Structure 1
């Protein structure tokens, strides 16, 4: 008697579940992507939800729902946010195919990094970690010749460390200065007054890690 192979054939739904794939409408994926993108920009600007709400005129609740992909922002809200973050409106729209929903909050593709260029200080920050809830943030920081975090020492919550991939960097922690070169690494409490600068004629690239807490 022939076997009933239909009963053992995996369904498309079970195959997707086994491989971690989830069917989500494209509009929902777009909202989730935009929410994480905006959260990444906010974190790179070191702004809390309350601070961002004050600057853009939106409520904390509305911003929270946008960042979590629960609601879609209006064009007016996007314009306000782009002005606060000092980025063109076009940067808030995804180019090309949207990432699979299972990658959101877990994977950052090279072409999908959030980039913040601080032209006045000669520093560019690329967020390498997903902009989901979490204490760990990893940045690729490029410091142009003469660029710095500013003339004043500053503090914030957490702990940070890094690795100088290329070039040289002056790292000032409290009253001590450390001249770091390619291959050197560092770690310190973020509550300790600090600043950094590139005092050479060549570009410096640092993998910088922040642990918020």
Structure 2
């Protein structure tokens, strides 16, 4: 697929797609979601290459996790579910102080759910902020505009589930 075609399908500029292709910039979560939808692949497709074949395709060992470090946004995404898990993706997100999912609200088909493990995380649902702390959980339709950030001084961690419709 050409840069121009991927740009057209995602709404990202030709220059941004070119920079991503050449590794000159780090994609935002929003950019990854747009590209995964345009290429008809799960977002986990963009994580580290497949490790040596695991003995059981239903188990992911700690040292075999795929991860994506979004340095510009201060988020580390670790894929906890098997890469070909189907309609559910499970992640552990580590969010640096002042880190966020980006400056734009996101939407997609399906559902989002999460559980706060550490720190304080602010979840924005349909323009309304919700301060969450360890032990809090959430579930919402992916069609509801959302974003998250870490306004605190300590690193935040949460389990994040993405379920396709």
Query: Are residues 189 and 50 of structure 1, via their aligned partners in 2, closer, same or farther at CA, if it must alter by over 3 Å?
Result: closer
1:45 aligns with 2:32: yes
1:198 aligns with 2:150: yes
Q: Provide Cα deviations, 1:132-151, integer angstroms capped at 9, x if missing partner.
A: 15111110000000000112
User: Which residue is equivalent to 1:184?
Assistant: 136
Give 5+ residue unaligned stretches, structure 2: 1-30
Write 1 or 2 for the structure with the bigger share of helix: 1
User: Which residue is equivalent to 2:101?
Assistant: 149
Normalization by structure 2: what TM-score?
0.71
Aligned-pair Cα RMSD in Å: 2.5
Query: May I ask how many residue pairs the two structures share in their alignment?
Result: 132
Give 5+ residue unaligned stretches, structure 1: 1-43, 53-63, 65-83
Normalization by structure 1: what TM-score?
0.56
Structure with higher RCO (Cα < 8 A, 6+ apart): 2
1:167 aligns with 2:119: yes
In 2: Cα distance, 1:125 partner to 1:206 partner: 10
User: Which residue is equivalent to 1:71?
Assistant: none
Q: Which structure 1 residue ranges, 4+ long, deviate > 3 Å from structure 2?
A: 47-50, 91-94
Q: CA deviation at 1:49?
A: 7.2
Whichever of the two has the greater Rg, that structure is: 1
